[in-house]
Each structure stands twice: as C-alpha cells, then as structure tokens.
Amino acid sequence: MTEGILEGITRDTVLTLARDLGIKAVERPVDRSELYVADEVFICGTAAGLVPVVEIDHRPVGDGKPGPVYAQLNELYERVVRGREPRYRDWCTPVYRR
C-alpha cells in the first residue's frame, strides 16, 4: 500500500538499506499531523537521493536539523550508489571513459 507514491528503485534501495541496518520501516498512510510531531522526516528520489525535511508548513521537524536515522541511511546510500560498499557492489554497473 503506497498511497500513490512511486514504487521506484531508489525507494526500494532505501527500504532495503534500512532493513539491513536494523531500522524498522512501516509502510502506511501518514496524517499531516504526524509529520508535525515527527522526530525526523526525509524523502528520496532518483535525482535527489535522500533529502532531509527540516520544516513542514513553517514548523521545524524535530530540532530543525537532519536526524540520526537520515544521516546513517544517507551515508550508506551514498557509498552504495558510488560502488564503495562491497556488500552492494553487484547493484552497480561500472561506467568507463572511452
């Protein structure tokens, strides 16, 4: 149940990495009011990777800074997509200059 979001490769990658890090992810509709009281929020997409959301409707999310879950996932994600994480190297296709 994804409530209209794209079920893309970046989303799947982030969910897999979260699981591998022991971070529990639950997929369900989220009410706007839940975002107002969240400790941290981030979004992901192919072009942007992971992006922290530090404010919603002019209200800070958590302490208004990227949180530790985002930091941990983003660090691993960046290593994976650059082929610098041996465990996931088979996810990447090398591109060579001519």
Give the pLDDT score at 71: 97
Walk me through the domains of the chain, giving residue ranges and CATH numbers. Answer: 9-90 (3.20.10.10)
What pLDDT does residue 57 have?
A: 96
| pLDDT higher than 90, residue 95 | no
**Residue 70: closest CA among 14, 29, 9, 13:** 14
pLDDT at 3: 67
User: Both tokens of residue 5?
Assistant: 């979001």
Q: pLDDT digit string (tens) for 2-29?
A: 567 778 899 999 999 999 999 999 888 8
pLDDT value of position 74: 98
> pLDDT tens, 25-84?
988 889 999 999 999 999 999 899 999 999 999 999 999 999 999 999 999 999 999 999
Q: Within 13 Å, how many C-alpha atoms sit on residue 25's CB side?
A: 19
Instruction: Count Cα atoms within 13 angstroms, Cβ side, for 34.
Output: 5
